[in-house]
Structure 1
Amino acid sequence: MVVRAFNVLRQYEEAAVEVAWRTMTAALAPGGAVVEGTCDELGRLASWVLLDAAGPQTLTLAAKLSTLDTPATLAERLPKALIHRNVPGEPIHALVSALDDAWRDAAPYATFGPRQRWLRTVSTVRAAGWPIEDRPARWRLGEITVRWQTVAPSYLTSR
């Protein structure tokens, strides 16, 4: 069983996230998962956290590449647990900044289309040491996934 909860926790206070996650995951059937995140009105930008009974596992960032101006715009659609943490010193800020810097450096690849520019961006970020979980087949779709521990804010690291 998979439960999808998009644009729900955006309305909550940041402090309510962990309790909401625990409540949702406690009600899961064995092997179940929750996909909690947010997206823009047209689904062009999205991000989500995959949760299971053990807690948050991964963060995925996704964009419709033909409309992506810069990876920094993904920060507008971070899940509630991260949106207020996109500040210097926080891991999510470092990831978004690394993507944005690599996007800027990959500008010459734009000649070949946004997909090629994105592939170069993600390859560069991965080569710099970011543990990107998925493979180029997912990157071509405008997605990247990292382990939650890579971007977890300090207030949730006890989970």
Structure 2
Amino acid sequence: MVATFLQDDLVAELKEIFDGFCLKNPQGEWSEINVFPQALPIPAPVAPPEDTDPEIIEEGLADTDPVKVEDPYPYAIVRIQDGKIETIDGAQNVTVLIILGVYDESLENQGHKDVLNMIQKIYERFAKNAILAGKYELLHPIEWTLQEEESYPYFIGGIALNFGTLPIRREDPFI
């Protein structure tokens, strides 16, 4: 098992968990949850105006050129944190952090509730069936957290999941 396979399977699972679950994005539109492996995507540069001198385009964008900001909210990031293999022929345990971000501009400042709802959806999925993609078993404990500092109208939280994988079978004839 390669940890990236677990990550890919968990990304696909989160897309199913959040299917039809919509929250508002910073543009004020209802949006499905964007799910990303490991990190948020890096914003792409804005296309230069059509009347830009071709020599300038060939030299590349300057530090002061505008960048197309694609706000990813609401989102879930599936980040591989670490892993552990305790014996030569033992199973690998992989810790995955799922970082959740939502946008809520309501003056009630209660966006943390959307984050908690997302955490609950993830928990319910694995409480009902601890097996992911027929290859990984959820191990306990499950830990979750909300951000400590104020960042209105953006709210962040996360849940840490530990998965056990199938061990590799030794082929050494001398054991």
TM beyond 0.5: no
**Is the helix fraction higher in 1 or 2?**
1
TM-score (norm 1): 0.30
User: Normalising by the residue count of structure 2, what TM-score does the alignment of the two structures yield?
Assistant: 0.28
